[in-house]
Amino acid sequence: GDSVTQMEGPVTLSEEAFLTINCTYTATGYPSLFWYVQYPGEGLQLLLKATKADDKGSNKGFEATYRKETTSFHLEKGSVQVSDSAVYFCALSDFYEGGSEKLVFGKGTKLTVNP
Amino acid sequence: DGGITQSPKYLFRKEGQNVTLSCEQNLNHDAMYWYRQDPGQGLRLIYYSQIVNDFQKGDIAEGYSVSREKKESFPLTVTSAQKNPTAFYLCASSDRVQETQYFGPGTRLLVL
């Protein structure tokens, strides 16, 4: 079945450093791709999404480009802040038989940004 | 404000007890979902519902039950058959056209 693999953490950076979190996927069709963020003790929030190849999702300084040729959706930010400390999940949309949608998540990457 | 609410924030279960987690949304979404999150793991789908009075098992449904009597509500019962219930439970909903799932703040279930 479809799957998502993202780089294992934890990742620790200094403030204003460049961030990359790698995400690759396996899918039989053409899924939409997502990055969700989870702050401590909270639910997940959608960070950005891309629905087709070569689309770039962006939000709050984060970017990710849907690369069909490399089956990747890497998350990047040019200058991280302490407030970006969280767990980041890569996900893709898939469908059960009968057409019902589901999300397939990676295991998450914990990011800590130090001042 | 539109959103998803989950209650309680923390829930304690005794051995052999059934407990019910609440999930309510006022986003007018047709689809609702329950996920389980364990430390260092991604989210795993327990049950989902695409429409009122209909629901399907996800990847780890054993030991859980749900109902969908109203569009706004999708309660999850953790039964005594679930032998390892300690986890963080997340409810989500989506508009099928937009595809994006929106999550509640979660309920942490602990076993006494």
Peptide linkage before A10 cis (omega within 30 of 0): yes
Interchain pair B48, A42: CB under 8 A: no
Instruction: Give B55-68 pLDDT, tens digit per residue.
Output: 999 989 999 999 99
B31 DSSP 8-state letter: E
Question: How far is it, in rounded angstroms, from Cα A78 to Cα A15?
Answer: 11
Question: How far is it, in rounded angstroms, from Cα A74 to Cα A86?
Answer: 16
pLDDT on residue A100: 64
Interchain pair A43, B104: CB under 8 A: yes
What are the angstrom distances between the C-alpha of B54 and each of B1, B67, B71? 27, 8, 10
* Nearest residue in chain A measured CA to CA from B95: A101
Q: How far is A104 from chain B (nearest CA, A)?
A: 8
Contact between A75 and A35 under an 8 Å Cβ cutoff? The reply is yes
pLDDT on residue B68: 97
pLDDT on residue B97: 60
**One-letter-per-residue 3-state SS of A37-73:** EECCCCCEEEEEEECCCCCEEEECCEEEECECCCCEC
* Nearest residue in chain B measured CA to CA from A46: B102
pLDDT on residue A97: 60
* Cβ within 8 Å of A, B 38-77: 40-43, 45, 48, 50, 56, 58
Give chain A's contact residues with B (Cβ, < 8 Å).
4, 32, 34, 36, 41-46, 49, 51, 89, 93, 96, 100-103, 105-108
Q: Write out chain B residues lying below 8 Å of A31, CB-based.
A: none
pLDDT on residue B32: 93
Question: How far is it, in rounded angstroms, from Cα B65 to Cα A51?
Answer: 33
* B107-111/B10-13 β-pairing: parallel
Per-residue confidence in pLDDT tens, chain A, 115 aa: 789 999 888 999 999 999 999 999 999 878 899 999 999 888 899 999 999 999 999 999 999 999 999 999 999 999 999 999 999 999 998 776 656 678 889 999 999 999 9
Peptide linkage before B39 cis (omega within 30 of 0): no
Torsion sign (Cα): A10, A92, B55, A46: positive
